[in-house]
Amino acid sequence: MERTLADARRWVAHGTHVCRDAIASLDEAAFAQACLLPGWTRKHLVAHLAANGDAVRNLATWAATGVPTPMYSSPAQRSSDIEAGSQYAGSALTAWFDRSAQGLQEAWDGLSASAWQAPVVTAQGRTVPASETPWMRAREVLVHAVDLGTGVTFADLPSDFLEALGDDVTTKRCAAPMADSPAVEICPTDATGVRWTLPGSDPSTSITVAGPLAACTAYLAGRGDAGLTASRDGERTPIPSLAAWL
């Protein structure tokens, strides 16, 4: 689907609300438990979300002022901020998340039409217009709302966001296809006209993966294959594993 700036800001608002509700449900013991991302507790993940809000706000500042303001001073700084945040009390993490989300919204609200088109550089080194930053944040708050492991699933996320995420992940995966893998055609059974194809190293071999849109998008995003089936030449076959998305 063709997403707009208004779409992305709507998804950020929704994802921030979902994250806030999930975070509010945690007591100190629950904060310290593992989230769904390997090696991280929920404290690590909330610290990451809060630090990401501050980092994306840096890009909005860059767009507004023209002064280069990177998301993070270095990858090491990003990692150290998350690790330090994982030692905070849950109440401090909640306050940081709220403060960073509010600051980011205010920074976006202050951008002029020309500033939205100003080039900024992401932490991955991509040069994008500032209008891309709400989409970057939407992915963070909505996907990580699931990763918090409080009961939110991909089926709870907006269907138009799921379609946009599937398009985005497919583009990234097609740019770096896995070696020694079949082509995979991913076919949501409940979304008309939506289909994603991942190229394989052997063009004569193709596997069709089918299931609900939410399950297909979760699979593309590296969040498992529950609810999906796979077939090759009309016969059931194991669902191919996918490499990490980001």
Domains of the chain (ranges; CATH) run: 5-152 (1.20.120.450), 176-236 (no CATH)
The Cα 4–Cα 43 span in angstroms is 32
Angle (nearest 5°) at CA 114 between 109 and 118? 95
**Location of structure tokens 């799921």:** 162
The Cα 2–Cα 108 span in angstroms is 21
Q: What is the DSSP letter of 157?
A: S
In this model, does residue 203 exceed pLDDT 70? no
List Cβ neighbours of 27 (8 Å cut-off, separation of 6 or more).
90
**Location of structure tokens 């860059």:** 62
Mean pLDDT for all residues in the chain: 95
**Location of structure tokens 């996320």:** 157
- pLDDT tens digit string along 116-155? 999 999 999 999 999 999 999 999 999 999 999 999 999 9
Strand partners, 196: 186
In this model, does residue 1 exceed pLDDT 90? no
Token digits of residue 132 = 């891309």
- pLDDT tens digit string along 181-198? 889 999 999 999 999 999
Q: How far is CA 165 from the centre of its chain?
A: 8
Q: How far is CA 124 from the centre of its chain?
A: 14
SS3 call for 212: coil
In this model, does residue 235 exceed pLDDT 80? yes
Q: What is the average per-residue pLDDT within 209-235?
A: 96
Q: What is the DSSP letter of 177?
A: P
The Cα 190–Cα 166 span in angstroms is 14
The Cα 116–Cα 113 span in angstroms is 5
Model-level pTM greater than 0.85? yes
The Cα 237–Cα 217 span in angstroms is 20
Strand pairing report for 229-232 and 127-129: unpaired
In this prediction, residue 243 carries a pLDDT of 82
**Residue 80 CB neighbours (<10 A):** 13
